[in-house]
Structure 1
Amino acid sequence: MMDTTKSPLTLAAVDLGATSGRVILGGVDGGVLKMKHIARFPNAPLHLTEAAPTDRDSAAESAPAEGLYWNITALYAALEDGLREAVRSAAELRSIGIDSWAVDYGMLRAGRLIGLPHHYRDRRTARGVALVHERIDPAELFARNGLQHLDFNTVFQLAAESESGLLDAADRILLVPDLIAYWLTGTARTEATNASTTGLLGLDRRTWDRQLLELAGTDRCQLAELVEPGQTIGELTASATQRLGADRPVKVTAVGSHDTASAVVAVPFASKDSAFISSGTWSLVGLELDEPVVTDAAREANFTNEGGVDGTVRFLKNVSGLWLLSESMRHWHHNATDAQRSADLQTLLVEAEAVTGQVPIFDPSDERFTPPGDMPGRIADWCREHGLRPPTAQAEVVRSILESLAEAYRQTIDAAEALTGVSVETIHIVGGGSQNALLCRLTAQRTGRTVIAGPVEATAIGNLLIQARAVGEVSPDASLSDLRTIVRNSFPVVEYSPHSAGTGESPAPTNAALI
């Protein structure tokens, strides 16, 4: 629900996702959050030829390889354009908050960016895993940082950078939203919820772990001071103020700068016995807790303990998400005739719902599905390797993906219950996947639990609410429960019963929201 009337829109959320970015204005009026989309822009990775990674002491020449990078300068230019339009639309703009995907970073020297940031899907990370695990046992690593094992965790990426010698040139490392904030304000800070995804924080979530920094080879680089959501990072520099057309400096406020941290703020939890699924490119499936769970069982189940807003813990597991659909669509469109390209995802979802035959259930977290490429072909390969008939028609592939995601959600929530003792009765799906009615219904049916879908714009909503509390549009003493009351008052949700096709009607989805 986007209402652009009456209430002054005084806050700007910059929400950077793995495939696109947005600038959204917002403001709280009478206990209701009003929002207006200002700009949307693509965020596509760059495939660049480079030497294959080798040991820094090796004299052997490397054959050319391909690296995957973020086009961070183009992304920054696009978000500045969006902020410029935000300033024109909101004469009383008071604050800007920035969130993005996790783990990736820029390396700087004397305040200048050194090269383009690597994309977390770049294949160099496997070498970093081997390097770190040579220095610390995986069980001890989990006991120190509480993070699930993902090959692209920052600790592994930095170890690969260190071995290559690239870190020798850097004196500062900033995560993506912190880098954007630095370019806007000239102040280097690292927001705590995003820092918690790096694998370099201790379990207290308030301090960098010096031993882990040394293991990753980052002890020579300066990591920025940690800042909590709601604190001020800085004000726009004079040049940024001028470029954006503002008549005075605007402050940049730390929000839950890991996009999932902001999204969870906007989950309208029905009770403490509720799980969340932040559904987008990735699916983040888990519980909001007061304390981390670092048992051997949690490590073996590959759960993570990430910092949430107001000292909470996001106990969750990364499950591959709608990336599987978007990559399948990209592959089909690339190889299609003009007539075939006219079929959009919404059409395929209708056809997928009509599929009556059995489709294979595959493991969406298999590492083969992480890099870009021919996703339908990889699904077919997985099925053949496991003695299953691969899906053939496009609608069957879509149905197989959604059934597999729903089954992965069930397994993850069942495991979270066993690990925490929480009995989950309700599942909240927020983000783009909440508009995918078929995915929501399948999740309710496979998990045997009620699914509450929405709000769609959870990340931007959480971003704006933290800013609203920081600038006094809501009480500075407002709790997360208070903020979630605003969410319930502002945005519709759709309920899906495990025993029915669902109740109510969801807002008309768009392809962009679905993937």
Structure 2
Amino acid sequence: MKKHIAVDIGASSGRLVVGWKQEGKIQLEEIYRFENEIRSENGSCFWNIEKLFNEIVNGLKKAREKGIEECTLGIDTWGVDYALIDAKGNRIQEVYAYRDERTKTAIQDIRKKVSLEEIYKKIGIQFLSFNTLFQLYVHDKEELAKAYKILLVPDYLYYRLTGIFISEKTNASTTQLLNLETKEYDEELLKLIGVKREQFATLVEPGEVIGSISELLRKQHNLPRCELICVASHDTASAVIGVPGVEECFAYLCSGTWSLMGVENMIPIANQESFCKNFTNEWGAYGTYRFLKNIMGLWLIQEVRRNLGNKLSFAELVSEASKISPFKFLIHCNDDCFLKPENMVLEVQNYCRNTGQLVPTTAGELARCIFDSLALTYRKTLGEISSITGYPVNCLHIVGGGVQNELLCQLTADVVEMPVVAGPVESTALGNIVVQMISTGELRNLKEARNMIMNSFPIKTYQPAVITKLDEVYHRFNQLVSMGK
């Protein structure tokens, strides 16, 4: 049977997962896991990109030890961050992490030169200060001029394995530089930030074969023979592929460090309402668009846990939160103050204090505050999606790590007042692997892949329960959001 390896790297960890078809189901096995983190140096934030490459090699060694002689391989990571490569093929500088503060005023600075509405109409991407557009705008111009190629993180890792330059479309769309009409990098924006089209590689669709792993690399480390396939290399794009959505009019919530909530469209929506509501049209696989909003997700509770000394597990935090009365403390999850605070506990407490609320003090109260606020944010976002798209959402699929938080899943169903279908946890690796399977002919199309995912993994449906005075709570939450604008 054919074996397929997903290299799936997130902000805090990465892993190699092998997948295969067996008796009409998809089987997964995690074969290697490693840590990832942002490191600070001289006041800036960077990724240890060479560590990530070396860990991929280590994972492939482990695959060979497990008897995998041949396989296909795809890579997905987060978006927006990039490496600069000189004409000799060497990396020029460290890879900045999107939480670096160098782009703090970049949106305001660009607004002085060009209308944000004009950019959005052409590009259709949500304005976030860390988008590649703004990172390149503030990047040292002498360094940029030396760059033969600008490669986003997964494209760089593909390059290190094969020596081939690509610009994968789903990740490239997160740069906020791809024109919706021309389907290419926008020349006016490239000129604005001081880069040229030839500094980016040829755009490549998910499903295209890139090439074989370097023979020198393979022999040096005794690796399997790998054919690298361009998957949807933005992790959210892969996660959405892995949503077992077989219903009409479903929405998805990719719940992890970020919460990505949206719908899958065949045409982008870039109008005044979607601009004002800050929705994005990230490119997906097979001609789709991910019409979604980035929401500050489980990063909030991850940071609270860290600030509390990691004394409680996430499961224990959920348990403590379940003992607290709901909706006593609320925050506007997407307020900039929560993007990278020195201390998330203090930031949440200060927010509640400054908005005239009770202040959460215990671990359970802090967790409850975050879970309640996330659920209310999801309700607000779903309402905006229905308003902009013009059709009602009747089912919400939650995939990713947040599936394991049963309190939040049930709370979300209650607050959004519709069924929540939770699972699978491994949607990103699954989305990565099924693109490989479609490319090799083992699956016909995305519809067949999603049906097989639905039948291969545990899926739980949460039916909504009635919340007393929900409208009052939601009104109070909306007031908080309005205060932060």
Q: Normalising by structure 2, what TM-score? A: 0.93
Q: Equivalent residue for 1:19?
A: 12
Check the 8 A contact 2:261/2:293 in 1, yes or no.
yes
Partner SS, residue 22 of structure 1: strand
Structure 1, gaps ≥5 residues long: 1-7, 50-65, 335-340, 502-515
Provide the rounded CA distance (Å) in 1 between the counterparts of 2:220 and 2:374.
Answer: 44
Once the two structures are superposed, the pairs formed by residues 31-70 of structure 1 within 5 Å of their partners are: 31-49=24-42, 66-70=43-47
Return the offset for 1:211: 1.3
| CA spacing shift, 1:167–1:220, aligned 2, 3 Å | farther
Identical residues among aligned pairs (%): 39
Return the offset for 1:356: 2.3
Return the offset for 1:246: 3.3
Partner SS, residue 180 of structure 1: helix
| CA spacing shift, 1:195–1:205, aligned 2, 3 Å | farther
| CA spacing shift, 1:205–1:230, aligned 2, 3 Å | farther
| CA spacing shift, 1:101–1:47, aligned 2, 3 Å | same
Return the offset for 1:196: 0.9
Provide the rounded CA distance (Å) in 2 between the counterparts of 1:36 and 1:24.
Answer: 6
What CA RMSD, in Å, does the superposition of the two structures yield over aligned residues? Answer: 1.6
- Measured against aligned partners, the alpha-carbon deviations of 1:407-454 in whole angstroms (never above 9, x if no partner) come to 111100110000001211110000000111011011001110110000
User: Which AA in structure 2 matches 1:397?
Assistant: L
Partner SS, residue 74 of structure 2: strand
Provide the rounded CA distance (Å) in 2 between the counterparts of 1:382 and 1:246.
Answer: 51
Provide the rounded CA distance (Å) in 2 between the counterparts of 1:159 and 1:332.
Answer: 37
Provide the rounded CA distance (Å) in 1 between the counterparts of 2:445 and 2:112.
Answer: 43
- Measured against aligned partners, the alpha-carbon deviations of 1:448-485 in whole angstroms (never above 9, x if no partner) come to 011000000000000000001112222xxx22211101
User: Which AA in structure 2 matches 1:437?
Assistant: E
Partner SS, residue 185 of structure 2: coil
Partner SS, residue 94 of structure 1: strand
Provide the rounded CA distance (Å) in 2 between the counterparts of 1:393 and 1:36.
Answer: 38
- Measured against aligned partners, the alpha-carbon deviations of 1:476-509 in whole angstroms (never above 9, x if no partner) come to xx222111011011111111111289xxxxxxxx
Q: Equivalent residue for 1:506?
A: none
Kindly indicate whether residue 305 of structure 2 is the aligned counterpart of residue 329 of structure 1: yes
| CA spacing shift, 1:437–1:206, aligned 2, 3 Å | same
4+ runs deviating over 4 angstroms: none
Q: Equivalent residue for 1:251?
A: 227
Partner SS, residue 86 of structure 1: helix
Return the offset for 1:272: 2.1
Return the offset for 1:345: 2.0
Q: Equivalent residue for 2:433?
A: 464
Counterpart among 73, 91, 108 of residue 130 in structure 1: 108
Provide the rounded CA distance (Å) in 1 between the counterparts of 2:303 and 2:232.
Answer: 28
Counterpart among 276, 283, 291 of residue 307 in structure 1: 283
Once the two structures are superposed, the pairs formed by residues 4-403 of structure 1 within 5 Å of their partners are: 8=1, 10-49=3-42, 66-110=43-87, 111-162=89-140, 165-204=142-181, 206-219=183-196, 222-246=199-223, 249-333=225-309, 341=311, 343-356=312-325, 358-371=327-340, 373-403=342-372
| CA spacing shift, 1:112–1:219, aligned 2, 3 Å | same
Q: Equivalent residue for 1:406?
A: 375
Check the 8 A contact 1:147/1:197 in 2, yes or no.
yes
Partner SS, residue 144 of structure 2: helix
Check the 8 A contact 2:4/2:18 in 1, yes or no.
yes
Check the 8 A contact 1:192/1:206 in 2, yes or no.
no
Partner SS, residue 130 of structure 1: helix
Provide the rounded CA distance (Å) in 2 between the counterparts of 1:169 and 1:488.
Answer: 48
User: Which AA in structure 2 matches 1:263?
Assistant: A
Return the offset for 1:266: 1.1
Check the 8 A contact 1:232/1:253 in 2, yes or no.
yes
Return the offset for 1:135: 2.4
Counterpart among 459, 482, 487 of residue 453 in structure 2: 487
Q: Equivalent residue for 1:415?
A: 384
| CA spacing shift, 1:442–1:109, aligned 2, 3 Å | same
| CA spacing shift, 1:165–1:128, aligned 2, 3 Å | farther
Structure 2, gaps ≥5 residues long: 468-485
Partner SS, residue 365 of structure 2: helix
- Measured against aligned partners, the alpha-carbon deviations of 1:229-278 in whole angstroms (never above 9, x if no partner) come to 0101121111221244136x421100010001111111111412110000
Check the 8 A contact 2:438/2:445 in 1, yes or no.
no
Partner SS, residue 468 of structure 1: helix
Q: Equivalent residue for 1:60?
A: none
Q: Normalising by structure 1, what TM-score? A: 0.88
Return the offset for 1:207: 1.4
User: Which AA in structure 1 matches 2:430?
Assistant: I
Partner SS, residue 294 of structure 2: strand
- Measured against aligned partners, the alpha-carbon deviations of 1:362-418 in whole angstroms (never above 9, x if no partner) come to 111011111153111101111122111221111000010011111111100110000
User: Which AA in structure 2 matches 1:139?
Assistant: E
Partner SS, residue 28 of structure 1: strand
Provide the rounded CA distance (Å) in 1 between the counterparts of 2:142 and 2:340.
Answer: 25
Deviates most, 201-210 or 402-411: 201-210
| CA spacing shift, 1:409–1:243, aligned 2, 3 Å | farther
| CA spacing shift, 1:91–1:218, aligned 2, 3 Å | same
Return the offset for 1:40: 0.9
Partner SS, residue 288 of structure 1: strand
Check the 8 A contact 2:400/2:425 in 1, yes or no.
yes
Provide the rounded CA distance (Å) in 1 between the counterparts of 2:23 and 2:451.
Answer: 12
Check the 8 A contact 2:255/2:399 in 1, yes or no.
yes
Return the offset for 1:357: 5.9
Provide the rounded CA distance (Å) in 1 between the counterparts of 2:160 and 2:246.
Answer: 39
Deviates most, 94-103 or 349-358: 349-358
Partner SS, residue 176 of structure 2: coil
